[in-house]
Amino acid sequence: TTPGATIRYTLDGSRPTSSSPIYSDPLAITTTTMLRARAWAAGLMVSPTATATYLFNIPVNLPVFSIVTDNANLFDNRIGIYVKGTNGKAGCRGVANWHQSWERPANIEFYELTSPGVVTQKINQEIGLELSGHCTRNFPQKSFEIKARKTYGDNDMDYAFFSDKPMTSYKRLVLRNGGNGNPKLLIGDPLAQSLSTGRMDLDRQAYRPAVVYLNGEYWGIYGIREKTDEDFVENNYGLKEEEFDMIELNGRLTSGSMDAWNAFSDYLRKNNPASPAVYADIKARLDVDSFMDYIILQTFVANTDWPRNNTRWWDDHANNYTWRWLLRDLDFSFLPKNIKRDMILWTMHGKGPTSLVFNKLMANTEFRNEFAHRYAAHLNTTFQPANVIGQIDAIAGGIRVEIPVHT
């Protein structure tokens, strides 16, 4: 509406430049189109980019994400984040662009399924787009991380994406391709995590299925997931990043300081938890009930990509929350080859801090007895076949109607 402004637009997903076509007359849009526009006016900064995706004749069975960005950001051999390319970094199974930690500017629109066959736009904003995952970056359908930043206009995505979580805005979300289950099983990780809902004291990632359109092309079913980083703790516990520590894998810092964890792990190594006094000290620093539930769930689902991998834990400086482990990447759950595997032995023989804590605690009779009773209770309730199969049916039912299109 600025007097004298010139509006320029593109129809290919790229950000308009000063050489893009000038808007003067209405555009007839009759096929799938990514319309982007910016305004220029003398003496003023160029406007932000406005984006609208027009999708024609698409199935509407699930919520929809439309991601729009310059095609080169995805598929150019030098700067494209989605291709093997010629500017790669060494990673799982070789050198490829997709192993680079590259973020590219993009726009997302999120359409909520408001009634059968009807979607309503809830989000439309510029974001940073990055690939997510490790070896799963090698799959044709790759996971995305979407990041709200002030650089792009807004620090948050202001929408309550998950009805079972209290948050109404997010800085980061992951659009997950099913992880290591791709392309055979899209629901392994959300299924395993869902078993804890309402039954175990665990930090789990919320999940919803959606479909993604990438520059107007159907890109298949994805799981909308919380990011299990400092944003997760901030959102779920109302803490600020400077108020807690987060550690992962073999003791790598992801947020805060290593001081509290180093002190705790050093105490474990130098003291015998068989002593009631030592065990009492451990319980003052570790959420033992939550840790039991964590080990019980991981071993029941037989997640063999753990505990050497996919571990992350945190505590807050005020000690309102003692050390807690987060559930993440349980894609190796329920594999038939692991039906007879002794997962307790697997956990005790594992390398890294998680196995260290478990082995130390198993030296204490009180812990060992309570762990056995807690496991038995879950076997008779949480893990009863009727409950597990009910969860399978519910999660599979959420995407079943979309599977033929995805395939």
Mean pLDDT score, 211-220: 98
Give the model's pLDDT for residue 26. Answer: 95
Region of 32 (left: φ > 0; alpha: ψ -120 to 50; beta: rest) is: beta
pLDDT of residue 1: 85
CA distance 377 to 54: 52
Q: What SS3 state is found at 240?
A: coil
Nearest to 52 by CA among 64, 36, 63, 39: 36
Mind giving me the DSSP string for 158-170? -S---TTS--S-B
Q: How far apart are the C-alpha atoms of 308 and 295, rounded to whole Å?
A: 13
Mean pLDDT over 37-45 rounds to 96
Give pLDDT, residue 370. 98
CB 199 within 8 A of CB 214: no
pLDDT at 332: 94
Q: pLDDT-based confidence at 39, cuts 50/70/90?
A: very high
Q: Is the pTM of this model over 0.75?
A: yes
pLDDT of 183 reads 85
Q: What is the pLDDT of residues 241-264, one digit of tens each?
A: 999 999 999 999 999 999 999 999
First-last CA distance in the chain: 45
> What is the SS3 assignment for 61?
coil
Residues 56-98: pLDDT tens digits? Answer: 999 899 999 999 999 999 999 999 999 999 999 999 999 999 9
The model's pLDDT over 359-396, given as tens digits with 9 standing for 90+, comes to: 999 999 999 999 999 999 999 999 999 999 999 999 99
Give me the residues paired with residue 121 across strands: 111
Q: Which amino acid is at 60?
A: V
Q: E strands, 56-149, where?
A: 64-68, 89-91, 94-96, 104-115, 118-132, 143-147
Contacts with 263 (C-beta within 8 Å, 6 or more apart), sequence order: none
Mean pLDDT in residue range 37-43: 97
Calpha distance 246→225 (Å, rounded): 19
